[in-house]
Structure formats: structure tokens, C-alpha cells
Chain A
Amino acid sequence: GQNIDQPTEMTATEGAIVQINCTYQTSGFNGLFWYQQHAGEAPTFLSYNVLDGLEEKGRFSSFLSRSKGYSYLLLKELQMKDSASYLCAVRALTTGTASKLTFGTGTRLQVTL
């Protein structure tokens, strides 16, 4: 089976930096994804890590350590519009090209003035 843990809620100030952690246990690991989801909307893709290290994309960066089963999403220069839930998801290979994403419960980030 798979188990994914991330904090339920976080609060940060506009302009600051926030780090959202995610730990996972899985077999057949084949990548870790971060999605942003605003209330009432579908998740939108933010980042993908399959190898250890840091992936940077503008204000957002994501880090992966496969040996530790650990990832984090780093958001810089926070803006009010960044207030959303951030979902960590692990992809595991099943058979052939089949794969499925297992999501954590999400971290609700509140950005304040």
C-alpha cells in the first residue's frame, strides 16, 4: 500500500517563503507530483520529481529525496492568490504502462497580509 503525510494547514505572510513537506511510503515509486487546488476547482499541475534533487520553476521549487521518502514544495514571494490547498501525490507503477496517483489529504495554505 501507499501512505502519504502532509500538514493539514499552514499560514504565511504575503511576500514570505513557505515550505510544505510531504513524506511517503510506497512500492514501485515512479515520481512525485505537486498540485495546487483552489476551493471548488480542479487540481492544477505544479511540479514533478522523479530523481533526487531540486526542481525550480519560477516562484515554486520542489525537492525530492527518494531514500528518505521525502519531498517539499517551496513557495517564494508569496501572493494572496497562493492561498489554496497543495496536494502531494505519488505515482506508482502497476503493470506495463499503467500507473496511478495516490494523493495526500492536502495542505491548506492561508496567505495573510
Chain B
Amino acid sequence: DAGVTQSPTHLIKTRGQHVTLRCSPISGHKSVSWYQQVLGQGPQFIFQYYEKEERGRGNFPDRFSARQFPNYSSELNVNALLLGDSALYLCASSLQGNEQYFGPGTRLTVT
């Protein structure tokens, strides 16, 4: 069975640009969560989506947005990129918020 997949694997952007990161959950999982992990820190919660509705949001500015599609895949969008947005962005899927399975992540570098 395929696990959580994310694309792209790596991304380099310039300050002020926007970025879209994609995630496909494990088949049958309806909940997708996004996390930001800065080097040397634990993942920080950004969003949770369940059945295409936002169910939770972490302490991130409005430059961060996300959505979930009818097939339960999800996109994370970040506008007006800052140097501090450089991080590993992790997507996790779960059955109704139980144990979460993480994808390989997208490493974003903002220059």
C-alpha cells in the first residue's frame, strides 16, 4: 500500500514569491494535517483538514492557507515568502485524527 506522498521533494524560492505544496494521504484516510519543521525543532502544527473542512489551525499568519479536495488530497499555500519560512513541510494523514502517518516532506528553501 502506498504511504503518504508529497510533492515536490525540494523547492527553492525567492523572498516574496508564493509556493504550493501537495499531499496525497493514505488511501481511506480522510484527515490531513500540515506541519512545519525548522531544523533542530519538533514539527509545528499548521492546519488540520477533515472531510474537506478546516478543523484546526496553528499559530501561523494568514499568508498560510490550505485546502482539501474531494479525493482527500491537500494543498498548502504560502504567500509572500519570508526567509523564516525555510523549513521541512510535513503532511500527515490519519483516520479521524488517530495515529498520524507522515509523508517524506517537502524541503523549502527561501533565498
List the interface of chain A (C-beta within 8 A of B).
4, 33, 35, 41-45, 48, 87, 89, 91, 94-106
Q: Is B72 an interface residue (CB 8 A)?
A: no
The answer to whether B45 touches A106 (Cβ under 8 A) is no
Contacting pair B42 A104 (CB below 8 A):
yes
Main secondary structure, interface of A, reads strand
- In the assembled complex, 27 residue pairs joining A and B whose CB atoms fall closer than 8 Å, in A order, are A4-B42, A33-B100, A35-B102, A41-B104, A42-B102, A43-B43, A43-B90, A45-B99, A45-B100, A45-B101, A87-B42, A87-B43, A94-B55, A94-B56, A96-B55, A97-B31, A97-B55, A97-B96, A98-B50, A99-B48, A99-B56, A100-B45, A100-B56, A101-B100, A105-B40, A105-B41, A105-B42
The residues of B that contact A101 with a CB separation of less than 8 Å are 33, 35, 43, 45, 92, 100
Which B residues have a C-beta under 8 Å from some C-beta of A? 31, 33, 35, 40-45, 48, 50, 55-56, 58, 90, 92, 96-97, 99-105
By the criterion CB–CB under 8 Å, are B50 and A97 in contact? yes
A-chain residues with CB within 8 Å of residue B103 when the two chains form the complex: 42
Inter-chain contacts of B41 with A (CB < 8 A): 105-106
- What distance in Å separates the Cβ of B55 from its nearest Cβ neighbour in chain A? 4
- Say which residue of A48, A97, A104 sits within 8 Å of B99 (CB atoms): A48
B50 and A44 within 8 A (CB): no
